[in-house]
Structure 1
Amino acid sequence: MEDDAPVIYGLEFQARTLTAQVAESEAIRFLVGTQSLKFDNQVHLLDFDEENNQLNKTVYLHKEGEIWHIASNPANKDILATCYNKTVDNKTERLTSLWRIPSEDDVLDSGAEDHGDSSSSPPTLELLCNLDSANFGNIVCTMWEPQADGSKMLTLSENNILQWDLQASSSQARISNSATLEVRGHPKFTCGSWNPHHNNVQIATANDTTIRGWDLRTMQEVYTIENAHSQLVRDVDFNPNKQYYLASCGDDCKVQFWDTRNTSESVKTLTDHSHWVWSVRYNHFHDQLVLTSSSDSRVTLNNVSSISSEPFGHHEEDDDDSDIEDSNRKPLEPVQDDIISTYEEHEDSVYAAEWSTADPWLFASLSFDGRLVINRVPRAEKYRILL
């Protein structure tokens, strides 16, 4: 059973931030932000054509600065947020803004040339508003409220959680709530994830080696995982199907899985990478599939069925044939955890890996040299899950 070859796309500049176009459920689309110190930075909208196994690109200028984080609005596919470095008078500051992807009509009305021509200038993203966090330090990442109307967002600054209300199609933003991380030393948030369960009132954050859960109604900690990793925690992600399960990864080369009801020890540990693990992502539908990427230039796809919502594989519906007795059926046995596949198309640190929101069997990964790779879950694994 031969698998499709990976599709490789090269950006002109270095890049480290990638997201799926979350509100797009029909087409397979990803957004990539570049990091260039000498030229105008760009956001690449990549549309994957499954029938022809190729990527189609649309490039938009992001003139403000190099992009360190990008997030797509869950309700409006044309709105995105970026955290970026802007240099003014030899001073660099970290800013966060909301943008709208211009429509084809907007591009034509502006008098811009056809940006499919390599000699013409790409259209520029439309600035909706800036998130003013001057009193709270630099924002390191943004999180939209999952499966919502795109009117609420969280940002993590160095040691503050800020909750934003967005009005008038995101043209205005105001801080509605906040919390401060108060621990010894100079704590700085590195990453966070919005919990899709519990009516979207919980998030998880990471600072140094610690993971903390927060209740957004009170802005108080509800659980703490001390020394979740022996070195810096780089990413966290919630299981979409099991409400108390959380994955994390870090500079200790490990991926850990946690039950937030009992944080004294992890429920599972993966040690498949040989360098810092930058990204961990649960599949949006089949939570036994977990994707990780690392500075060892590799992406791994793991089966963690033992702690998933389907530990025994697919459950078939009862047959209508009354001649088949339950006693004749073989009892289901647990599916064994293992590495499904290791992907080695990258030659530099792989900073991001993301599942498509339109196709549960397809994902993209991005390395610092600007190489984006589209891969799929192996057909044998796909059919094993489905059948």
Structure 2
Amino acid sequence: MEDDAPVIYGLEFQARALTPQTAEADAIRFLVGTQSLKYDNQIHIIDFDDENNIINKNVLLHQAGEIWHISASPADKGVLATCYSKTSDSRVQARAAVWRMPKELESGSQESPDDSASTAQTLELLCHLDNTAHGNVACVTWEPMGDGKKVISLADNHLLLWDLQESSSQAVLASSASLEGKGQLKFTSGRWSPHHNCTQVATASDTTLRGWDTRSMSQIYCIENAHGQLVRDLDFNPNKQYYLASCGDDCKVKFWDTRNVTEPVKTLEEHSHWVWSVRYNHSHDQLVLTGSSDSRVILSNMVSISSEPFGHLVDDDDVSDPEEHHADEKSKEPLQDNVIATYEEHEDSVYAVDWSSADPWLFASLSYDGRLVINRVPRALKYHILL
């Protein structure tokens, strides 16, 4: 099937930061941040034209430093946040800032300009999301359904809630919480839940997952030893409010119900090295993507713990033929979880995977050598889910 062939784009620098342009619901667009110590770093705006199967790109200069994490505003196409490292006084600091891209690039360009002629444009700095008192920033996450005014940054052992004011040119620290305990406690990643009126955030630190209430900045649940080694990433199920997925250095992906944290609901052990990234599909939550430093991307069908464990249910009224109805009754057993596909286009560690915000059947993965691969959910499965 030619249509399912991957499309590959190569950046000239190493890279580990990837995000879809969250506020864009029509065009398929991803943002990729580079990691170069020698040259100015860049953010590549990748537009995918799925009718012609080609990629158009625009490049923005990110002179502040090498990009470790990137996230896009859910409300404004032109605004994004990066976590980057900066060397000052022979010390490396991880900082975070909110930027605006040039107006003409917000909606992407249909024409990919000739590389030699095009000059990279610069980002406009809106505000910094750190003060050195809080330490090194690991990630920034936006309020999912919000107006792009609230962000959370995780810096060392601090959880910081920022209010972006004056059209994002000023960040005011609204509230904060800290990890207490023995040893060097540091956040590694976090996600803001789209449920519960966006009042919950989950964080990973070492082998522990924690839930926080953003109103009181207090801890609401804690999953100790969620993984045997460091937890790398987590994501919320978009349709089931208590479910979240986590992945880590024990090569496992685990699914949790936050109302009962003693055991994971399900565990996947398909990767042979650290799992860096896990993402639920935004529309069909049985589709789960994972990326690992075994250089593979795995698409799993976790249908038994999805919001449609029996497949797409048909109303009785819709079935006119009684015989058809009878055949339908038999198939109402939970469907089996399985690995749909393993993608092996990468030759280096896959540090990021993410779904397009515009097309629920399309996803991108990024490996450290700067290779971005755009793939589709196999067509047979797509029709099986839809029909």
Q: Using structure 1 for the length normalisation, give the TM-score.
A: 0.95
After TM superposition, the structure 1 stretch with the greater mean CA deviation from structure 2, 18-27 or 163-172, is 163-172
Aligned partners of 1:115 and 1:122 also within 8 Å: no
Q: Which residue of 1 aligns with 2:298?
A: 300
1:9 and 2:15 correspond: no
CA–CA distance in structure 1, aligned partners of residues 33 and 114 of structure 2: 19
Secondary structure at the counterpart of residue 304 of structure 2: helix
- The match for 1:178 is 176
Task: Please tell me the residue identity of whatever aligns with 2:130.
Answer: D
Deviation at 1:132, TM superposition (A): 3.0
- Which SS does the other structure have where 1:8 is aligned? strand
2:165 maps to which residue? 167
Identity %: 67
Rounded Cα–Cα distance in structure 2 between residues aligned with 1:328 and 1:334: 15
User: What's the offset of the Cα at 1:87?
Assistant: 2.0
SS at match of 1:258: strand
Q: Name the CA distance, whole Å, in 2 between partners of 1:79 and 1:101.
A: 7
- Write out per-residue CA displacement over residues 256-283 of structure 1, whole angstroms, 9 at most, x where no aligned residue: 0011000001110000000000000000
The question of whether the paired residues in 2 share the 8 Å contact of 1:191 and 1:236 is answered with yes
**Which string of whole-angstrom CA distances, capped at 9 and with x for unpartnered residues, describes residues 61-95 of structure 1?**
00111000100000001000001011234332221
Instruction: Give the aligned partner of residue 109 of structure 1.
Output: none
Q: Which residue of 1 aligns with 2:135?
A: 137
State how far apart, in whole Å, the 2-side matches of 1:274 and 1:73 are: 34
Residues of 2 paired with 1:309 and 1:77: CA distance? 30
Question: Which of 255, 261, 264 lines up with 2:262 in the alignment?
Answer: 264
Residue 374 and residue 171 in structure 1: after superposition, are their counterparts in 2 closer, same or farther (change >3 A)? same
| 1:203 pairs with 2:201 | yes
Q: Any stretches of 5+ residues in structure 2 without a counterpart? A: 107-111
| Partner residue, 1:285 | 283
Q: TM-score, normalised by structure 2?
A: 0.95
1:110 maps to which residue?
A: none
* Counterpart-to-counterpart distance in 1, 2:344 and 2:115: 32
Give unmatched runs, 5+ long, in structure 1.
107-113
Residue equivalent to 2:109 = none
Q: Given the alignment of the two structures, is residue 330 of structure 1 paired with residue 326 of structure 2, yes or no?
A: no
CA contact (8 A) 2:163 2:171 kept: yes
Query: d(CA) in 2 for partners of 1:223 and 1:120?
Result: 50
Per-residue CA deviations over 1:148-177 (Å, capped at 9, x if unaligned) read 100000000100000000012211101000
Match runs of 1:1-387 below 5 Å: 3-104=3-104, 116-319=114-317, 324=322, 329-331=328-330, 332-387=332-387
SS in 1 for 2:381: helix
Report if the CA contact (8 A) 2:22-2:77 is conserved.
yes
Q: Which letter does structure 2 place at the counterpart of 1:21?
A: Q
Q: How far off its partner does 1:364 sit?
A: 0.1
CA distance in 2, matches of 1:120, 1:89: 35
Counterparts of 2:105 and 2:192, CA distance in 1: 35
The count of corresponding residues between Structure 1 and Structure 2 is 380
Amino acid paired to 2:358: A
2: CA distance, partners of 1:136 / 1:214: 18
- Answer with 217-226 or 31-40: which moved more: 217-226
Aligned-partner Cα distance in 1 for 2:130–2:155: 11
Matched residues in 1 for 2:88 and 2:226: separation?
38
Letter aligned with residue 296 of structure 2? R
Contact residue 199 and residue 214 of structure 2 kept, 8 A? yes
